[in-house]
Amino acid sequence: MKKISLIAGVSFFLGAVFFALIFGTSNGVNIVSAEQIGHIDNTPVPINMRSFSFAPLVKRVRPAVVKVISKTIAGGESSYGNSLLERFFRQRRREVTGVGSGFLISSDGYIITNNHVVENAVKVTVKTIDNKEYPADIVGKDVKTDLALLKIDGKKFPFVELGNSSKVEVGEWVLAIGNPLNQDLSVTSGIISAKGRQLDVAEYVDFLQTDASINHGNSGGPLINMKGKVIGINSVIITQSGGSVGIGFAIPSDMAKKIIGDLKTRGSVVRGWMGISIKALLEKEAKEYGLPSAGILIKTVELDSPAKKSGLKKYDFIITINGKRIKTANDLKRIIGNSSPGTTVSLTVLRGRKNTKTKIQVKIGKAPDTIKYNPMGNRGKNTDLGMVLVNNSIALKRQYELTTAKGILVKSVDRNGFASEYGIRRGDIIFGINRTEVGNIAQFKDMLDEIKPGMVIRLWINRNGYESSIRVQLPN
């Protein structure tokens, strides 16, 4: 026993010496306090491997993370039929509270969160680290990337910056901060597990994958790198149990920068468009077409589209865009969709039976879903808002159990139209524009026609008895 104990003691001693040589003070690294580090900057947080701690980083970042509380109205609802309004509630309405996360990106109160956290909210409240609550306006939402921008009134809020997600590498340490399962401002750690993940929940996003624990309530919270920069917005988990199993996904910060910029300036997102329909060919399929590799086959080219104007043709085979190999339809769709209208992209295509390699420059246009709106039946320049309206009345109030007989009832909303982008829903009752009440459709149209195209207005709505305003930027 003594001999065994002696061997064990010697082994432990040698192990300790080895660990000290590898992770000891010879690397010159020590933990410093948050006060020494100061405000968030590009300096990596020093780490001493003998007493590993994220505490200095958390102290710096956590004050900018907020709790997002959304109020929605739940109740039975039927689809429209042949009658004027086959709508509304078969059961008692009830208020439902949802909780998510978000983070401040400016000292004057702009907050990033997920679209699904506030999607159908009639009221949004933000709670900060000092337990103060602020009513929040929804500046804009984008369902296609699951991002939303909120605004609270105030000054000198602590905030974090969006980092460069394109430089993130698999294996890097990250922290997820948020309000999982109603446990406010929880912090979990992990690494970037993978990049470029594609999920059905957001068609324009190549997600970052992380094993940092993400649960319900983390949605909209930041994924932080070791420089204190936000490199992702936590959004989705894959689970069979309903809880975290170490497979979570975040929206890359580089994509969020463009989306949030659009939401801040116009309340909706402008996407790029070429005007082609495509088919992705894998290696085996490509060979059957007499092509040397996988790529994108152009099936049709729309008339008067950017693609047509650039000289792209039916059956051209796209192999690169801006020098990058393209193998899937989603790759092309994301790159074009996330390009700003007016920018030029360079395509390499194979053309004809001889697969002649051709370079084509395409000037990106605006995606149709940002410029086409269903008319409300008026000649005015600002009335094509993608919704059908009817004048409210006492008869409609009684028939459909509305809370008021005043205003204008939204009969239907084009799912891909302008009104839908701003969160207007069928069944909403519009009763005001800016500071003026609106009693009927004629007044509504006259007021819109007096407002310059592109101007921002506030539409006051009654949704199931709750009054709120929606910020809308009129089409140009």
User: Which tens digits make up the pLDDT trace of 311-321?
Assistant: 999 889 999 99
Contact 192, 169 (CB under 8 A): yes
Q: Catalytic site residues?
A: 116, 146, 219
Architecture of domain 372-473: Roll (2.30)
- 366: pLDDT strictly greater than 90: no
3-state DSSP assignment of residue 377: coil
Bridge partner residues of 215 (DSSP): none
Q: Where in the chain is the domain with CATH 2.30.42.10?
A: 272-366, 372-473
Buried b (16+ CB within 10 A) or exposed e, 270-283: bbbbbbbebebbee
Over the chain, what is the mean pLDDT? 79
Candidates 3.20.20.80, 2.40.10.10, 3.40.190.10, 3.40.50.261; CATH matching 62-151: 2.40.10.10
Predicted local confidence at residue 399, as pLDDT: 62
pTM of the model: 0.64
pLDDT band at 228 (very low <50, low <70, confident <90, very high): very high
Residue count of the chain, please give it: 476
User: Which tens digits make up the pLDDT trace of 170-210?
Assistant: 999 999 999 998 899 999 999 999 998 877 666 678 899 99
Q: Where in the chain is the domain with CATH 2.40.10.10?
A: 62-151, 165-266
User: Which tens digits make up the pLDDT trace of 8-38?
Assistant: 454 544 454 444 444 444 343 343 333 343 4
- 325: pLDDT strictly greater than 70: yes
pLDDT band at 40 (very low <50, low <70, confident <90, very high): low
For residue 321, the Cα-to-chain-centroid distance in whole angstroms is: 24
Domain 272-366's class? mainly beta
Predicted local confidence at residue 450, as pLDDT: 80
Give Cβ neighbours of residue 198 (< 8 Å, ≥ 6 apart): 205, 206, 207, 330
pLDDT band at 379 (very low <50, low <70, confident <90, very high): very low
Candidates 3.60.20.10, 3.40.190.10, 2.40.50.140, 2.40.10.10; CATH matching 165-266: 2.40.10.10
> Region 256-277: what's the mean pLDDT?
88
Predicted local confidence at residue 46, as pLDDT: 61
